[in-house]
Structure 1
């Protein structure tokens, strides 16, 4: 069982409160680089929209670092990029948050719910039980924000 310290509890509450206010892609980017970054440091966040078959239908790539166009294209390739392999490994873990080694993108963590999943890449250290639990607690907030943006754009 993971027990959060008082700072982590405060950051988590802040992230959930701010996440509920996300209404546009710009808001989501700012939230991911602020409140989410404070809890789960990462360089790249992939937002994965899943099709009825469970495969990646669309990828949105948010990053705080400059990616080469080849890297960005590879990450955003819904059919040929690495996201489907990461999702398959995540499903094999019975839907629990999955720490991964993402090649040139370093340490990562993937988790999802319903028709969305998220992959945090370029974490400064290998994700452990604490990071997995934090992502588990944030997934409903992230899912709501992603769905709200999709409704606004649609």
Structure 2
């Protein structure tokens, strides 16, 4: 018999704060802001890979969401649509019929995903949490979270169960991937602006970006203001989310 999980008052509040905005997610930008914002309070992670499958089991959508810089090579390893690590882990868990799955490769005990230990470590992580609908007549969705807190608690799997219906429905509401380029800005970002957005994604301040780029913090601020106008946003978080939505940061 599985132990009963009782949410603390704070966890109940976090759950409500995560569910409510999730009901309004209708774009990749909103999905990014939600999963990297309110969802993080219950399911802290570095990288979230979301996969949608068609009725035949083929991948119809793959999104990789992360609020910090992810090494390009590691991102390719995680997100390859044909043989990526996240895809193989998701399919392994779907076949096993055991969901959610929490694998802490830093623990001494044997892991249900032990066969992936070396690859997960090579990608820069030591744990992974997997949950999803599993296969259904209409397809299904799976969510693979990398980089949980050290020695993650088993109760994170319960939080994943509580949030799964909302993650699944929000992912299903997103426009088709082929439409992601709709509503492009009036002009492409310049090389310097793209560089600044990259440092913005890394969480750098204006002063830090100025030192890295050899320009003043005021010049960085001016670049940011032009970026905001070009993208039609008003702050740093929305600028980053808009770039994610438009796939401007993909190689």
TM-score, shorter chain, exceeding 0.5: yes
Match of 1:150 in 2: 175
Distance change >3 Å, CA 91–CA 128, structure 1 → 2: farther
2:18 corresponds to 1:15: yes
Query: Any gaps of 5 or more consecutive residues in structure 1?
Result: none
**Are 1:73 and 2:98 matched, yes or no?**
no
Number of positions where the alignment pairs a residue of Structure 1 with one of Structure 2: 154
Name the stretch that deviates more: 110-119 or 93-102.
93-102
| 1:107 paired to 2:127 | yes
2:146 is matched with which residue: 113, 121, 145?
A: 121
Contact kept? 2:26, 2:175, Cα under 8 Å: no
More off after superposition, 19-28 vs 52-61? 52-61
Q: How big is the shift at 1:87? A: 1.8
- C-alpha deviation, 1:13, in angstroms: 1.1
Displaced runs of 4+ in structure 1, greater than 6 A?
A: none
For 1:51 and 1:126, the matched residues in 2 are separated by 34
Provide Cα deviations, 1:81-128, integer angstroms capped at 9, x if missing partner.
Answer: 112331243235524200124322221101001511101111112443
CA contact (8 A) 1:108 1:126 kept: no
Q: Does 1:91 align with 2:94?
A: yes
Contact 1:112 1:118 (C-alpha < 8 Å) held by counterparts = yes
Q: Is the 8 A contact 2:62 2:79 kept in 1?
A: yes
Matched, 1:141 2:166: yes
State the distance in 1 between where 2:87 and 2:79 align.
11
With 56-65 and 31-40 compared, the bigger mean Cα shift is at 56-65
* Partner in structure 2 of residue 130 of structure 1: 155
The superposition leaves residues 40-89 of structure 1 with CA deviations (integer Å, 9 ceiling, x where unpaired) of 11010101112334354432100112111111112121211112331243
- From the CA coordinates, give the structure whose radius of gyration is larger: 2
In structure 2, do the counterparts of structure 1 residues 59 and 50 end up closer, same or farther at CA, with 3 Å as the change threshold? Answer: same
Structure 1 residues 119 and 92, CA, compared in 2 at 3 Å: closer, same or farther?
A: same
Question: Cα distance 1:141–1:109, how it changes in 2: closer, same or farther (>3 A)?
Answer: same
Question: Which structure is higher in RCO with an 8 Å CA cutoff and minimum separation 6?
Answer: 1
For structure 2, which runs of at least 5 residues remain unmatched after alignment?
106-119, 181-251
